[in-house]
């Protein structure tokens, strides 16, 4: 083999190792192990000895065996280096189950967590979401003063359960390990200096967050209010929720009592059927019902299938194949002709079944994807992926396509997803990237980084968005969503009553927007088994939009 070939093999092996270190996670991931083996093969090629043909067989065997032995040691060394350097933080934070309880594996991480003053989490108006207080023995304890925002921070339980939500996602920033000056952070670690974590300031308004929790009350559900132009989340409520104060366990003389309390509370949370640990705005998946008609109408308008004044016939029922779709929402049983705008405002399933059949399965799927269905929403917290169908062949049935068009069938969507659907209409067809953390700052109040508005993707063009805005405004002015009107403001919206099967009450939905002249805020509210959207979700959304607008006026 030529010197050039050997050098090329060695360089390729080095580049593959660097790529594997950077692009893969987990020291035992299949991708990393495959790349490691490929690199080992290339290194072997690069250093494979060239022996004269006259060399004795024993010498050949020993030499080549030595080379393979050395390559094996090199691979082992690279793997150990990865574990100790690249994956050290991940291994330190790893949790595992032990006798049914979630426990943190690395005791050194637990000790470090009790000795560092973790950064605070604050709302945009300066209210404390999470803070670290000092014990008489010099250790620290994490506290969450306000129940309405505490679960957004998540729990932080270094001795038992690890962390969740913002406490998990921003752990390194809250511990002061990243997010600031990297040289200072490195020196602090090397010299074992005392350090304080960095603070997170959320885009959440405390008053609005409190109101969202109060309005949802004891009902299972979620509410999101988002700035239509920036994507900033100003309220994100989830009920039922939990108290992270009861899960924190600190080292010290009180550790046994606190551990028993935390384990009892964890058992209570994990055994409840209503899943209080589930952050419903981002992780709850629901049948959207009639609010999905926003996507269907947008698809019809942009694809040229219909115009806002296109007339459809609704005689009270529609037969599609062997399925009869009844109409229960006609405002006048003697009237049979309705425009697309009318049908949206009065939520006519028969009309939207016809619209869905006109659009067709592929085009409806394409537009759902443009609105974000089937994609991972870029957000600080994990978001469940909304889906138009769970079975790829489902929409091939005409009856299935018809019911999907008015929001039933196999559709599942998170409240955040549906808030972004409203945002696309309110924001000229563009969906913004939602965000919860406004900025990160140090203990002196110096801003280290800020979250700037960023576009996620375009769902529809500006013309279609303008048409849909007027259709949603008409829904509030002349349709079933009339209870959402706010004097002096432009309000658009759509109610939803999503059937969930069995004897359960339907889920109650509302999505919409409001502003002085143009949309300023969007809202999405769902109440599980709440009944009619007009009676349950709409009044909650109406009050939240009203408060958000008043807050905006006072700034």
List the beta strands (DSSP E) in 286-389: 311-313, 317-320, 323-326, 337-339
Q: What residue spans define the domains of the chain? A: 3-86, 95-201+242-266, 289-554
The pLDDT score that the predictor gives to residue 194 is 62
Banded pLDDT at 78 (limits 50, 70, 90): confident
Distance set, CA 76 to CA 27, 40, 88 (Å): 12, 10, 16
Q: Is the pLDDT of residue 113 over 90?
A: no
Would you say residue 29 has pLDDT above 90? no
pLDDT at position 374: 96
Backbone angles phi, psi at 156, to 5 degrees: -135, 105
**Average pLDDT estimate for 507-511:** 97
Q: What pLDDT shows up at residue 97?
A: 41
The class of domain 289-554 in CATH terms is: alpha beta
Report how far Cα 533 is from the mean position of its chain's Cα atoms.
24
Give pLDDT tens digits for 322-341.
899 999 999 999 999 999 99
Q: What are the two backbone dihedrals, phi and then psi, of residue 527, each rounded to the nearest 5 degrees?
A: -125, 115
pLDDT bin (cut points 50, 70, 90) of residue 502 is confident
58-67, 155-164, 277-286: the lowest-pLDDT one: 58-67
pLDDT tens digits for range 383-425:
999 999 999 899 999 999 999 999 999 999 999 999 999 999 9
User: Is the pLDDT score of 462 beyond 80?
Assistant: yes
Q: What is the mean pLDDT of residues 456-483?
A: 97
Mean pLDDT is lowest, of 13-27, 452-466, 530-544, for 13-27
Whether CATH 3.90.1310.10 fits 95-201+242-266: yes
Q: How far is CA 468 from its chain centroid?
A: 26
Q: Which of 367-371, 403-407, 501-505 has the lowest mean pLDDT?
A: 501-505
What global pTM score does this model have? 0.81
Say what the pLDDT of residue 296 is. Answer: 98
Mean pLDDT of 78-103: 57
Which segment, 104-113, 115-124, 332-341, is predicted with the most confidence on average? 332-341
User: Tell me, what's the pLDDT at 444?
Assistant: 86
Most confident by average pLDDT, 105-114, 155-164, 329-338: 329-338
Mean pLDDT of 152-175: 91
Mean of pLDDT values over 346-371: 97
* CA 349 to each of CA 316, 390, 402, 478, 527: distance values in angstroms, whole numbers, following the listed order: 10, 22, 9, 18, 21
Task: Give the pLDDT of residue 511.
Answer: 98
- Average pLDDT taken over every residue of the chain: 88
C-alpha pair distances (Å), 522 with each of 80, 208, 467, 542: 50, 13, 17, 11
Cα–Cα distance measured from residue 411 to residue 351, given in angstroms and rounded to the nearest whole number: 19
Counting residues of the chain whose pLDDT is more than 70, the rounded percentage is 88
């Amino acid at each position: 083999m030529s010197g050039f070939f050997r050098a090329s093999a060695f360089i390729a092996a080095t580049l593959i190792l660097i790529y594997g270190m950077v692009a893969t996670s987990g020291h035992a991931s299949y991708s990393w192990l495959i790349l490691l083996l490929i690199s080992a093969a290339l290194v072997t090629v690069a250093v494979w000895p060239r022996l004269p043909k006259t060399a004795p067989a024993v010498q050949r065997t020993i030499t080549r065996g030595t080379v393979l032995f050395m390559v094996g040691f090199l691979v082992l060394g690279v793997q150990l280096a990865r574990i100790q350097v690249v994956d050290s933080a991940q291994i330190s934070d790893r949790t595992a189950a032990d006798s049914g309880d979630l426990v943190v594996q690395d005791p050194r991480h637990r000790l470090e967590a009790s000795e560092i003053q973790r950064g605070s989490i604050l709302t945009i108006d300066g209210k404390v979401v999470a803070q670290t207080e000092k014990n008489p023995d010099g250790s620290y304890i994490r506290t969450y003063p306000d129940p309405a925002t505490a679960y957004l921070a998540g729990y932080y339980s270094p001795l038992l359960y690890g962390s969740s939500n913002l406490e998990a996602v921003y752990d390194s920033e809250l511990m002061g390990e990243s997010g600031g000056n990297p040289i200072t952070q490195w020196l602090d670690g090397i010299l074992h200096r005392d350090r304080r974590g960095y603070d997170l300031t959320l885009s959440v308004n405390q008053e609005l967050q409190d109101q969202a929790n109060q309005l949802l009350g004891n009902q299972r559900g979620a509410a999101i209010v988002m700035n239509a132009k920036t994507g900033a989340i100003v309220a994100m409520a989830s009920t039922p929720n939990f108290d992270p104060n009861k899960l924190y366990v600190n080292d010290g003389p009180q550790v046994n009592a606190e551990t028993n309390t935390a384990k009892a509370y964890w058992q209570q949370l994990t055994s409840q059927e209503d899943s209080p640990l589930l952050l419903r705005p981002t992780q709850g998946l629901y049948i959207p019902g009639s609010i999905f008609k926003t996507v269907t109408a947008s698809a019809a308008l942009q694809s040229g299938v219909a115009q806002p004044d296109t007339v459809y016939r609704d005689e009270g029922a529609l037969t599609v194949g062997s399925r009869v779709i009844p109409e229960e929402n006609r405002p006048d049983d003697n009237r049979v002709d309705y425009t697309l705008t009318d049908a949206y405002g009065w939520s006519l399933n028969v009309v939207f079944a016809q619209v869905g059949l006109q659009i067709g399965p592929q085009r409806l799927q394409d537009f759902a994807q443009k609105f974000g269905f089937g994609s991972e929403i870029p957000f600080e917290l994990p978001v469940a992926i909304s889906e138009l169908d769970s079975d790829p062949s489902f929409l091939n049935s005409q009856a299935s396509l018809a019911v999907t068009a008015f929001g039933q069938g196999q559709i599942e969507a998170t409240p955040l997803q549906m808030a972004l659907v409203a945002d696309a209409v309110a924001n000229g067809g563009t969906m913004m990237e939602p965000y919860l953390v406004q900025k990160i700052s140090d203990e002196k109040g110096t801003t280290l980084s800020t979250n700037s508005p960023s576009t996620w993707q375009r769902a529809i063009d500006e013309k279609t968005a303008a048409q849909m805005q007027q259709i949603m405004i008409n829904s509030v002015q002349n349709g079933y969503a009339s209870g959402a009107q706010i004097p002096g403001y432009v309000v658009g919206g759509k109610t939803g009553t999503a059937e969930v099967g069995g004897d359960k009450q339907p889920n109650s939905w509302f999505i919409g927007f409001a502003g002085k002249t143009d949309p300023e805020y969007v809202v999405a509210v769902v109440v599980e088994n709440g009944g009619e959207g007009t009676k349950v979700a709409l009044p909650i959304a109406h009050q939240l939009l009203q408060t958000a607008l008043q807050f905006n006026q006072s700034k």
